[in-house]
Structure 1
Amino acid sequence: MESISIFEIIKVGIGPSSSHTMGPWNAAANFLDRIRKDHDLQQVNEVFVEFFGSLAKTGIGHGTDIAGMLGLSGENFKLIDTGKITEKIAVIRTSNQLNLGGEKIIPFTDGYHLILNKKRSLDYHPNGMIFRAVFENGEELVQDYYSVGGGFIATQEGNSYEHQCTRTLYPCHSGADVLRNMEKLGLEKISDLIFLNEESWRTRAETEKEALYIWQQIKECIYKGVNKEGTLPGGLNVTRRAAAWNSKLLGDKIYRNIDEWFQLVVDAEETFTTINKWVSCFALAVNEENASFGRIITAPTNGASGVIPAVLMYARAFTDHKSDDDIIRFILVAGEIGTLFKKNATISAAMGGCQAEVGVSSSMAAAGLTEIMGGTPAQVLMAAEIAMEHHLGMTCDPIGGLVQIPCIERNSMGAIKAITAANIAMESDPAKAKVSLDQVIQSMWETAQSMSDRFKETSEGGLAIAVNVAEC
């Protein structure tokens, strides 16, 4: 089994969905690369893309169609000005043309060249799509792709575009592997083991720099979220709440930039109720940005992108574990836990429901927090187990196919559960635990396989049906 870098699990992304936005976007970019490798973009007459299954059923709410068009246009979701996305899509739709790869104008009519096929699913994975290019000489290039969670894509032939495949010095494909390597090397902190393995991709200094870059992006995302008012896009008329909550918590205090705002948060009254409100506010801020095609940190998915930021900001603002080294080690351990779920279960809601998104993110955050609180390796894994144990069976049932209800609030709940799980683990003896992290990961996967497809990001069950709202 190949190893996965933690920065493939925790990375820069764009809302509203890693599997339904980033995955199709990555697939479109890969298809352009395929054309360039074997053919010539200048020889392309037309391009067609068809989305199936979950991608089609919640495609409009998750911006799958938008991601497909922008990806084929050669746009990079890590670099694009998110404020101009609506304008760029309007140009394509009104002109019925698309600038393929930014190199050639071709005819492109949404609904003809791009189709959301809600009546059919591809066998390999619920998030399937097929791209087809027609060349001037009549030849065609056809490729299927599958968005398998977290923005990762693969093909049915076995080609994987998920991560940079490598084998680390001390492979960790299970919790048992982690503990075995810790004992073998005589290490006390799991993050030290991860530092060693990440050297398969980059130096320690580069790993530390990337982790602090992730932290900076998290702070900026939260700051944007707590300073934006209005209504979220999509038609549900969901009001942004983070900004109002932020103002209420800070009272009449004034700030001019992110650093002044953060200091005010740190200096705020620290009661149990106030801290809980701040944690929820942090999570809401990120997920409101995600729902608005904002730039966020995918961790491990976009639908769950508010959990780790909320818990990390909690640690930085309200605990003694706030050094840059603490931030780095939190991110390393959280990412490693995410790789265990990725390799042994799923981080795709279309495969496993929301337990695969908010559940995994909560498990990751609990482990990261326990690491910097001084927990033993066994306590770190125990915290991850506890957090997932109390997310088992959670359905993915977005109302109107949007990542707004119940997704945004679920991130707040996931963050609080992560903090609780860490506190429980810190006061527990892992030797007396009845359930291991590996066992709960196996249980999560078995639960996922037993769940009805109605509860796996199709908007055909749960709240999506109980609340009668047309797909937006």
Structure 2
Amino acid sequence: MISLFELFKIGIGPSSSHTVGPMRAAHDFAVALRACPDVARIEVTLLGSLAWTGVGHATDKAVILGLMGYLPDTVDPDMADELVALVRAAHRLSLPDRTLSFDPAGDIIFDRVTVPPVHPNTVQFIAYDAAGEQVACQRICSIGGGFIVAEAHAHDAVVATADVPFEITSARDLLEITRRTGLTIAEIVLANERALRPEHEITAGIDRIIATMMGCVDRGMHQQGVLPGRLAVRRRAAAIYDRLKGDRFRNVRAAHEVMDWVSLYAIAVNEENAAGGRIVTAPTNGAAGVVPAVLRYY
């Protein structure tokens, strides 16, 4: 069973597979290096789609932050660019337990030639000692939605299972369970979540997810300026919000006004995602505006 807290991950933009996944992979590699005292240098190779679109999706930034010990759900997005800029300027990388020489311009390789053998989103981490000998290596696939798996196991990767009251593998299964038991979809999902963790943790986790979604909507509706990237796209949500607020007390209530507000909320989240802000992967960063927009209007 895929838990709510696997499906709805708190992270940063702009991509679940190209930002969130690589950051988690880099974090895990940095943690594993605690068992290797002789590390003098780290080399990161982005392969396949991570190489071709990694700059636009801030994959290199995500890798740097992950190696420094940050995770997508806890890193301060307002500080992320500054942290990465310090690494680029000083050519020094602070791992959780040591500091190494690290030049992102040379130590992060965008390999657009080698075809990854297993998955198009593959990242390779290699650690070397002072003599240039390899002391650790990991190849990780970012398989979508922020999920990662070791390349060696990517073909047979499965979601961890647990004993739950209701086994659901399709929408047909879910609807059949509602007919058979009389339970709502929410009650069925909650029963399964209770098999994984105490109910107070479930409630607290859902509250945190909703608070993150609503905070993202609020921030997105008030931020102005140009989004990161070469296209110099200007934010639209703040101007739309001001226009809709101005129409509230006029006798110009259009039939499609509901969709104007829902669209505003989705645009606000999508712009925050594009800016590398705090968002909820739901179930991908690219679709992250839909659920918060509906919840906010509701």
TM-score, with structure 1 as normaliser: 0.59
Are residue 73 (structure 1) and residue 68 (structure 2) matched? Answer: yes
> Which of 118, 123, 126 is 1:132 aligned to?
126
On the 8 A contact 2:11/2:74 being kept in 1, the answer is: no
Task: Give the 5 Å matches for 1:98-177.
Answer: 98-101=93-96, 103-136=97-130, 138-158=133-153, 165-177=161-173
Aligned equivalent of 1:434: none
Measured at CA, do residues 289 and 25 of structure 1 come closer, stay the same or move farther in structure 2, by a change above 3 Å? same
Cα distance in structure 1, aligned partners of 2:202 and 2:98: 39
Greater relative CO (CA pairs within 8 A, separation 6+)? 2
- 1:26 partner amino acid: R
Cα distance in structure 2, aligned partners of 1:208 and 1:87: 34
CA offset digits 1:327-371 (Å, max 9, x no partner): xxxxxxxxxxxxxxxxxxxxxxxxxxxxxxxxxxxxxxxxxxxxx
Aligned equivalent of 1:26: 24
Cα distance in structure 2, aligned partners of 1:54 and 1:139: 26
CA offset digits 1:175-196 (Å, max 9, x no partner): 2322343344x22411111111
Cα distance in structure 2, aligned partners of 1:35 and 1:71: 13
Cα distance in structure 1, aligned partners of 2:254 and 2:159: 43
Shift of 1:161: 8.9
Task: Give the 5 Å matches for 1:49-68.
Answer: 49-68=44-63
SS in 1 for 2:143: strand
Which structure shows the higher strand fraction?
2
Aligned equivalent of 1:310: 293
Q: Which runs of 5+ in 2 are unaligned?
A: none
Measured at CA, do residues 43 and 161 of structure 1 come closer, stay the same or move farther in structure 2, by a change above 3 Å? farther
Shift of 1:226: 0.5
Shift of 1:206: 2.9
- 2:31 partner amino acid: D
Aligned equivalent of 2:220: 225
Q: Which runs of 5+ in 1 are unaligned?
A: 254-263, 316-472
SS in 2 for 1:167: coil
Which structure shows the higher helix fraction?
1
SS in 1 for 2:279: strand
On the 8 A contact 2:92/2:99 being kept in 1, the answer is: yes
Aligned equivalent of 1:15: 13
- 1:284 partner amino acid: I
Pairwise CA RMSD of aligned residues?
2.3
Are residue 280 (structure 1) and residue 278 (structure 2) matched? Answer: no
CA offset digits 1:39-61 (Å, max 9, x no partner): 23x42111111001111111000
- 2:23 partner amino acid: W
Task: Give the 5 Å matches for 1:64-463.
Answer: 64-101=59-96, 103-136=97-130, 138-158=133-153, 165-184=161-180, 186-251=181-246, 271-315=254-298
Shift of 1:286: 0.3
How many pairs are equivalent?
Answer: 295
On the 8 A contact 1:297/1:305 being kept in 2, the answer is: yes
Measured at CA, do residues 88 and 99 of structure 1 come closer, stay the same or move farther in structure 2, by a change above 3 Å? same
SS in 1 for 2:42: strand
On the 8 A contact 1:154/1:162 being kept in 2, the answer is: no
Cα distance in structure 2, aligned partners of 1:207 and 1:77: 20
Cα distance in structure 1, aligned partners of 2:217 and 2:276: 14
Shift of 1:163: 5.9
On the 8 A contact 1:152/1:162 being kept in 2, the answer is: no
SS in 1 for 2:222: coil
- 1:113 partner amino acid: D
SS in 1 for 2:230: coil
SS in 1 for 2:151: coil
Cα distance in structure 2, aligned partners of 1:217 and 1:182: 30
Measured at CA, do residues 269 and 19 of structure 1 come closer, stay the same or move farther in structure 2, by a change above 3 Å? farther
SS in 1 for 2:114: coil
- 2:26 partner amino acid: A
SS in 2 for 1:62: coil
CA offset digits 1:65-105 (Å, max 9, x no partner): 0001111111222222212222111111111111123x212
